């Protein structure tokens, strides 16, 4: 099921700064809320998101409970060569969702 979106420009000139945009479906439960029964709801957030460009890490972030549900993330990277940009989101359960997109660099 499509639970994440990733957008990378299809084409770029070598050396261009490009914008990568992404969205992922995740409840990002902070661990600070209480359920109807008064018990705390366990924390369940995406703890890390990492981007690779042809396998090399270009971006990584550790997220905290303050990040909203279904978070949007955007960052910039320099277009160096044609290939694949991949994002991987890892949550507290260790579940990994990945999404990749191709870019042609001229």
Partner 1 sequence: MKIRQLLLALTGTIAVAGLGLGFVVSQTTSAKAEGIRSGYTYATKETQGLQDDEMSNPGYLWVDTGEDLWSKAEGDAGKSCNDCHGDAADSMKKAGVSYPKYKDDIGKMQNIEQRINQCRTDNMKAKAWKWESNQLLSMTTYVRNQSTGMPVSVAVDGPAKPFFEKGKAFFNQRRGLLDMACKHCHEDNAGNLIRANVLSQGQINGFPVYRLKWGKVGSSHRRFRGCNKQVRAKPFKNGSDEYVNLELYVAWRGRGLPVETPAVRN
State the number of binding residues for partner 1 (CB under 8 A): 18
Paired residues of 46 in beta bridges: 91
Closest CA to 6 of 91, 85, 90: 85
Is 70 among the residues that bind partner 1 (CB under 8 A)?
yes
Residue 36 CB, nearest approach to partner 1 (Å):
15
Name the minimum Å distance from CB 54 to partner 1: 22
* Chain residues 72-101 in contact with partner 1, contact rule CB under 8 A: 72, 74
Q: How many CA atoms lie within 13 A of 54 on its CB side?
A: 10
Residue 7 CB, nearest approach to partner 1 (Å): 5
The pattern of x and - marking residues 1 through 40 that bind partner 1 according to CB under 8 A reads xxxxx-x-------------xxxxx-xx------------
Contact in structure between 49 and 67 (CB atoms under 8 Å): no
CB–CB of 98/88 below 8 Å?
yes
3-class state of residue 38 by DSSP = coil
* Beta strand 17-24 pairing with 4-7: antiparallel
Q: How far is the CB of 4 from partner 1 (least distance, A)?
A: 8
Contact residues for partner 1, defined by CB under 8 A: 1-5, 7, 21-25, 27-28, 68-70, 72, 74
């Amino acid at each position: 099921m499509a639970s994440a979106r990733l957008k990378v420009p299809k084409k770029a000139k070598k050396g261009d700064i490009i914008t990568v945009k992404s969205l992922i479906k995740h409840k990002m439960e902070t661990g600070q809320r209480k359920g109807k029964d008064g018990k705390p709801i366990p924390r369940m957030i995406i703890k890390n998101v990492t981007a690779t460009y042809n396998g090399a890490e270009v971006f990584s972030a550790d997220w905290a409970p303050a990040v909203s549900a279904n978070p949007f993330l955007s960052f910039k990277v320099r277009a160096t060569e044609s290939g694949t940009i991949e994002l991987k989101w890892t949550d507290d359960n260790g579940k990994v969702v990945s999404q990749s997109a191709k870019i042609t660099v001229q």
